[in-house]
Amino acid sequence: MQRPAFLDRFLTHPAERPALRWQGRTSTYGQLRALGERTAGWLREQGVGPGDRVGIQLDNGPELVAAHLGCMALGAVRVPLNRHYRAAELAPILEDADLRLLITPVPEFAPGVRSAPAPGEGAPTGNWAGPTDVTAVLFTSGTTGRPKGAPQTWRMWESNLDALAERWELGADDVLWLMLPCFHTHGLVLGLHGTWLRGACVQLEEHLRVEPPPAGITHVFGVPTYYRRWLPGMEAEPARYAGVRLWVSGSDGLPAALSDAIHAALGRRVLERYGMTETVMITSNPGRGDRRAGSVGTALRDTHVRVVDGEVQVRGPGVFGGYWPRPDPSAFTADGYFRTGDAGELDADGYLRIVGRKKDLVIVGGVNVAPAEVEAVLAGVTGVAMVGVCGVPDDDLGEVVAAAVVADGSLPEPEVRRALERAALGLSGLKRPRQVVFVEALPRNALGKLQRSRLAAEVFANPGCINRAK
Ligand code: MCA
Ligand code: AMP
């Protein structure tokens, strides 16, 4: 296959241009390209070839960057994996992904496999092309509990990231402050690849930093939880936040009150945008002009958005071609629109508001949690007859997971509660219930299907929580 245009652009950024800042050291584009080629050599030594899938389960840092660049140089397909996942959460993904190599620091996930590639270890190789246009498969939580693979092509990313750069007026001289984990679309695609496509620079951090941005940062990406945590500092010392031209929020709704409070502190409104792993970005507020609190803005260039029966549907060059390896034709309408499962309203100017979710999903700190996955883990606990899981509001994380449990009477409640806590340790932290209540019965419809929105309203007294407007 011909080299993707995305990579042609990445390869022609001036070699001396700064590309990555990490813990006080700056690497140039020339150095990143050399790192990619050496890591491609290391991957070859591990038996990886073009088109093979490589799992990357790493925290943000030089090893993660090396692993991605190595796969790009070799033409291998990346499968980014959530660093927080426990063995049982990873198992269905590993079953579907059919990896040639898993790069992870967790030894029990990859017995006998070396941990991260040490930058500079391999003999340089790779021609920055691959046998297919698919460059990564991102597994998204899905609503059934089984993660779904969403193949990502270079073309999806290039067209979408160009449209975003245009909307946000970002160029090669911009410096992004990036602390989002680079295994989700937000950090990996918008953060790292958006920067690499433009030939700009990213200052990468391992974790969220609740402090003023370092000198020289021009834009920052975050989920609403980040903004909740930054707000006190912004209010106390606004001058120390003044150098940043653009604050962007996504992955969950930014409450209008929070947007207004930041606006009052900084004199700038956070720019909210909306997207999905399956679609990359769909809508955004403008870099310049009418940014509206409570709205996720208008459709990006070449992207068509409509609301049908209350559901947001989208078609365009950023939208993926379908799930892999378990296709689900019902994800698309007959005329080719992807069904987002989000509930929205479009106004006369084309501004979209996300008013809730038609899908059963809880978003905790910007991370999707499928209630069905949590229910499946808790339902296996001795003493439990039935479990229903929903989201309840949280001042910091937006929503947290709550569980209503019907006991079977075989064990005292405190014992069942302890067993539930132990079982929940098999899930990564954000999926664990923060509230567990014992109930006589779960709300069900006439067909016997669990009604999670009624659960939120009736058991946890949060009317319409799971489908609430945010
Ligand atoms: C932390 N934990 C996680 C994750 N992060 N579990 C699953 N997935 C995660 N991403 C677990 C930790 O292992 C820990 O478990 C517990 O949660 C608390 O972690 P900690 O870091 O102490 O939590 P925190 O300080 O409360 O911070 C949470 C956070 C973090 C900073 C809000 O979740 C975060 O960075 N969120 C951003 C997520 C994101 O990038 N979302 C984009 C996806 P234990 O208790 O066992 O130690 S959405 C997307 O990409 C779409 C396309 C879009 O629109 O952007
Ligand atoms: P993911 O599956 O991790 O890609 O998450 C995509 C989901 O995040 C969307 O379907 C929405 O439910 C949610 N989302 C992303 N951005 C926003 C936003 N700005 N406002 C509300 N929800 C959002």
Residues 389 and 417 in one domain: yes
Q: How far is CA 175 from CA 63, 104, 245, in A?
A: 21, 29, 10
CA of 276 relative to ligand 2 center, distance in Å = 6
Q: Are residues 406 and 314 in the same domain?
A: no
Cα 24 vs. chain centroid, distance in angstroms? 26
Same domain, 410 and 344: no
Tell me: do 295 and 411 sit in the same domain: no
Task: Specify if 384 maps to a domain.
Answer: yes
> How far apart, in whole angstroms, are the C-alpha atoms of residue 102 and residue 110?
6
- Residue 110: inside a domain: no
Q: Is 125 a member of any domain?
A: no
Cα 238 to averaged position of ligand 1 atoms, centre (Å): 26
Look at residue 467 in the predicted model and tell me its pLDDT: 35
Tell me whether residue 176 is in a domain: no
Report the distance separating Cα 305 and Cα 325, nearest Å: 27
Instruction: Give the Å distance between the CA of 365 and the centre of ligand 1.
Output: 6
Q: pLDDT (tens digit, 9 = 90+) per residue, 335-391?
A: 999 999 999 999 999 999 999 999 999 999 999 999 999 999 999 999 999 999 999
The C-alpha atoms of residue 366 and residue 39 are separated, in whole angstroms, by 31
CATH number at residue 406: 3.30.300.30
Q: Is the CB of residue 163 less than 8 Å from the CB of residue 316? A: no
Looking at the fold, whether 403 and 327 belong to one and the same domain comes out as no
Q: What is the β-pairing status of strands 53-56 and 77-80?
A: parallel
Query: Would you say residue 375 lies in a domain?
Result: yes
> 293 with 391, same domain?
no
Among 307, 339, 357, the domain-final residue is 357
Mind listing the pLDDT tens digit for each residue in 268-302?
999 999 999 999 999 999 999 899 999 999 999 99
- Point out the ligand 1 atom lying closest to the alpha carbon of residue 85: 7
Q: Measuring CA to CA, how many Å separate 349 from each of 126, 254, 281, 296?
A: 48, 20, 19, 12
- Is 337 in the same domain as 422? no
Please check whether residues 271 and 378 belong to one and the same domain: no
Mean pLDDT of 50-73: 96
Q: Which amino acid is at 35?
A: L
Residue 210 buriedness (CB in 10 A; 0-12 / 13-18 / 19+): exposed
Q: Which domain holds residue 290?
A: 194-357
Among residues 357, 379, 411, the one where a domain terminates is 357
Last residue of a domain, one of 307, 328, 357: 357
Is the same domain home to 235 and 310? Answer: yes
Q: Both 340 and 390 in a single domain? A: no
Q: What CA–CA distance (Å, rounded) separates 438 from 67?
A: 46
Q: Does residue 207 form part of some domain?
A: yes
CA of 366 to the centre of ligand 1 (A): 7
Q: How confident is the model at residue 105 (pLDDT cuts 50, 70, 90)?
A: confident
Q: Write down the H helix ranges in 204-319.
A: 224-236, 256-266
Is residue 148 within 8 Å of residue 326, measured between CB atoms? yes
Ligand 2 site residues, Cβ closer than 6 angstroms: 140, 184-185, 250-253, 272, 274-277, 296, 340, 342, 354, 357, 368
Contact by Cβ (8 Å): 26, 18: yes
Residue 304 lies in a domain: yes
Same structural domain, 314 and 352? yes
- The structure tokens 């892999």 sit at 324
Domain count, the chain: 2
- Which CATH number belongs to the domain containing residue 202 in this structure? 3.40.50.12780
pLDDT score of 452 more than 80 = yes
pLDDT tens-digit map of 201-220: 999 999 999 999 999 999 99
Q: Which of 320, 342, 431, 466 to mutate to test the pocket of ligand 2 (most atoms within 8 A of CB)?
A: 342
- The pLDDT confidence band at residue 175, using thresholds 50, 70 and 90, is very high
Residue 323 and residue 377 in one domain: no
Q: Is residue 144 part of a domain?
A: no
Q: Quote the pTM value.
A: 0.96
